[in-house]
Each structure stands twice: as C-alpha cells, then as structure tokens.
Amino acid sequence: ANQTDRVVMANSKYEYVKDFERPDPLLPNTWVIIRIDGHGFHRFSKVHEFEKPNDARALNLMNAAAKAVMSELSDVVMAYGDSDEYSFLLSKLCSLYDRRESKLITTFASLFTSYYLYYWSDHFPTPKPLYPPSFDGRAVLYPSDQNLRDYFSWRQADCHINNLYNTTNWALILKGGMTERDAERELMGSRAADKHEILFSRFGINYNNEPEMYKKGTVMVREPVKDEENGDAPSLLQEHGATMGEPERPKSNRQLKKEAKKQAKKEERQVKTVVRVYHCDVIRDEFWDARPWILDDED
C-alpha cells in the first residue's frame, strides 16, 4: 500500500471526531426570527462619515442587502430593519436546512454581509469600504402569533425611541453648536414631549414630518401578486443557476420521479410573489389584518 492508501485508512481512523458535532434542530412549528446586527457600527459609521442622525445611503444599503437575502431565501416571510440591524422571519413550517440552528444563522449572517459588500458601491462613492464590516446573528423562537407581533412591536418601538433621541441630540450638536457632552446632559431625563419641543422651538423641526424610514424603520413583506402582474424577477444567484437551498446530492430514479410530481403540484398551487418594501406601522392591527397570509400559517 502506498502513502495515500495509508491516508484513506488513517482518515477512517480520524472520522470519529465527527461524533463531537452536536445536532441543533430548532423546535418545529414555531416562528423563527433571525436577527443580524452590525459589529462595531458606531466606529464603522464614523470612519465612513455616515451622516447624523441618519445616513440615507447606509440605510438604503442595509435595505438592499436585506431585500436580496429575501429574494434568495424564499422561506423568509417578512423582514424588519433599522439602524444596523435586520430581523428576518421564517415561517413556522419552514424546514430550510432541516431547521439546523448553526447552519441557518451563519448562512443569514454570511449572505447578508456578502450582499452588503456587493452593493456597497451602488450606495457609496468608493468601490468598497475602508475596512470590511461584519454582522453577528442569532435565532429566537416565538411560539404564538402574539409573541411574534410583540417582537416586531418591540423593534419598531425601539427604532422610534432611538430616532427621536438621535434627531434631537444631533440637532443640538449640529445646528445648536453644542458639544456631544452638553447635548447628552441637556437630554438626560427629558421626556418625548420635551424633545419634540426642543426640535420645534429651537430648530423649527416638526418631528412628525421627518422621513418615515427614519421614524418607522423598514418593513419587507413577501406578497402574492395578481395573475396579470409579474412576480419578482429571478434573484442574482438564480440568474447564474445557483441557489441557497441544500446542496444537490445524487438521486435515484424513484426519488426523481417523486420530486417531479411534487414539484408539479407545487407549481400548480404556487402563487407568484413579490417582495414589497414599506415604512409603515407594524404595531397596530392594520398591517396584519391587511396581510392575513403572514400569520395564517397554521399547523
């Protein structure tokens, strides 16, 4: 036997190390939120001179990356983002990657990052950032529709609170000429009404007229389209024959027949869909009532 046969034998001897991998399936029939968070974006936004309190280019880039992720991964039902974070909702019945947690969260973090860089030059005047940004991610499970709605309400309320603070804070600094420290002191303990008042009386800003994207964040929903309309165009990966699904394994004839049948059935009932982008309220009932298919995913 030569060197490589010894290697093959050795390899079977080493393969026991695979037993140290732990299975990590997420609980079935539960809403899955995958939230992506920018790492050190306080610094990243400074180095790249993001406008304060909001940089439309940076937010649009986040949205472009998120929309692309939704296009590639059709299991994503809805997404919500603001600042340097994005939450993706997977259906309760989603079985992507057999619901393996590690596989899911790393894939979302990686694909989002990849699109963020890929589309950078569409939004900023340089071909790439000064250093590569990164995002972490996590999965959180929500058993009930109410829990899920409360999750999105939590993120949107958070967006609102932060944006009012930031808008006032940066008005004091940029328009009022205060130091960062003085602005912080001025706002300490202030209530919402106080901030509205500061904005209006000192700077003539009516907070209610601020752009919806800043006040409400960005909501993306996969929506069915009517017969005469077009669904979403193929995604960038699909255009090149690639896909985010499971890698292909060789299949038996029987499997292939079975799948062809299944596919035909699926296409029959399949509705063309399109990802639509909003900057609307997701706390009140209107949003959900108008899109019953989001929560109608009963088992």
Shortest reach from residue 31's CB to its own copies, in Å:
9
| Distance of closest approach, residue 49 Cβ to its own copies, in angstroms | 12
In this complex, which beta carbon is closest to its own copies, that of residue 154 or of residue 293? 154
Q: Which is nearer to its own copies, 196 or 225 (CB)?
A: 196
Q: How many beta carbons lie within 10 A of that of residue 61, not counting itself? A: 20
| 104 token code pair | 């899911």
The distance of closest approach from Cβ of residue 165 to its own copies in the complex, given in angstroms and rounded to an integer, is 9
Closest CB to its own copies among 133 and 172? Answer: 133
**Nearest to its own copies of 63, 113 (CB atom):** 113
User: In this structure, which amino acid lies at residue 86?
Assistant: Y
**Tokens 């590690």 sit on residue:** 102
Shortest Å distance, C-beta 37 to its own copies: 9
Report the nearest approach of its own copies to the CB of residue 226 (Å): 30
| Residue 63 token pair | 């949205």
Report in angstroms how near the CB of residue 228 gets to its own copies at its nearest. 30
Shortest CB 21 distance to its own copies, Å: 5
Instruction: For residues 179 and 177, give the distance between their C-alpha atoms in angstroms, rounded to a whole number.
Output: 7
In the complex with its own copies, which residue's Cβ is closer, 186 or 225? 186
Residue closer to its own copies (CB basis): 139 or 294: 139
Strand-pair category, 273-278 with 218-224: antiparallel
Whether residue 25 contacts residue 91, with contact meaning beta carbons closer than 8 Å, is answered with: no
User: Is the CB of 87 or the CB of 218 nearer to its own copies?
Assistant: 87
